[in-house]
Amino acid sequence: MPRLTDPVAIRTLLETDRWWSIYPLGDLAPHLFPSCEWFHLPGGPPALMLVCRVFATPVLFALGETAAVQLLLDEVREEPAFYLHVRPEVLALLEPRYRLRDLAHMWRMALDPEDYRPASAEHVVRLGAADVPALQRLYADGETAGESPHFFAPAMVEEGAFFGLWEGPELVAVAGTHLVVAAESVGAIGNIYTRRDRRGRGLAAATTSAVVNELLRLGLRTVALNVSQTNAAAVQVYERLGFVRYCDYYEGLAERR
C-alpha cells in the first residue's frame, strides 16, 4: 500500500478530528515530518495511521473507522514494538498481534478559550535553557513513584512554553508543553509536575494556567492535554481551569508476538 506523503492530504484527514489529532498535526512541522510515516487507504473510508520515529520506540497513532484501521495495521505487522497512542477500539485490534504492557487509560482534555477560567499565576516565571538542570532535578523527584514525565527532552523548553515556581534555587512546580506548532495552530500541554512535598497548594493550577495564557496569546485554536484517568486530583485541577474530557484513549507498549 503506498504511503501518504502529501502534507495537505494528511492535514485534511487530521482536520476531521483536531482534538484527537493534535499530536499528528504537530508532526507536520518541517523538523518532524521526515521522521513520520503515514498510511491511508485510497478510496476507502476516512482512516489514517501514523508511525512516528522521533523516539527510540516508534509511536503508533490511528484515526478513523475501525475496519479501515485494521487493514492499515497490516502495513506495519513486521514492526517489533510500538509506543501506543490509540483509542480503545484500536487497542482491541492490536491484542491478537501484540503483547500489550504498561497500559495507561488516559483522558484527552480539550480547552475552548471561551470556557477558560485562569488561576492566579503570580510568581510563576517562564523557564529557559539555563533552567533545564533544575527542571531535571524536579522531575527526578517523581522517579521512584513512576510519576516523572515520560516524554521530556531539554529542547522542548526552548521550542515550547515552560513555566515554573521557584523556592530559592529549586523549582517546586512546573508546567510545559510537548509541542507548540503555530503553523498548525496546535499546542499540547504536558510535562506538568509538582514536587511531592508541595502538592495541594494550587501550584499545578498556577503553572498550567501560565502555559495556557501563553498558548492563547499566540492565538492557537487547539489547546489540549493528557492525563491518566487514575489521577483524579489532576483531572479536577484541569476541569476548574475549563478543560473538558474530550475522549479516552490508551498509552502503553505493544510488542509483536
190-219 residue pLDDT tens: 999 999 999 999 999 999 999 999 999 999
Same domain, 17 and 104: yes
Total domain count, the chain: 2
Same domain, 99 and 193: no
Same domain, 35 and 71: yes
Q: How confident is the model at residue 2 (pLDDT cuts 50, 70, 90)?
A: low
122, with CB counted inside 10 A (0-12, 13-18, 19+), is: exposed
144-179 residue pLDDT tens: 888 889 889 999 999 999 999 999 999 999 999 999
> Which of the listed residues 87, 108, 129 is the one where a domain comes to its end?
108
Same domain, 231 and 141: yes
Listed in sequence order, the residues at least 6 apart from 206 whose beta carbon sits closer than 8 Å to its beta carbon are 119, 120, 121, 122, 123, 124, 165, 173
Helix runs in 160-220, H state only: 203-217
User: Where residue 217 sits, what CATH number does that domain have?
Assistant: 3.40.630.30
Structure pTM? 0.94
Is residue 57, in this structure, part of any structural domain at all?
A: yes
Q: What is the pLDDT of residue 119?
A: 97
Q: What is the pLDDT of residue 1?
A: 61
Is residue 252, in this structure, part of any structural domain at all?
A: no
DSSP 150: S
Q: How confident is the model at residue 242 (pLDDT cuts 50, 70, 90)?
A: very high
Same domain, 79 and 190: no
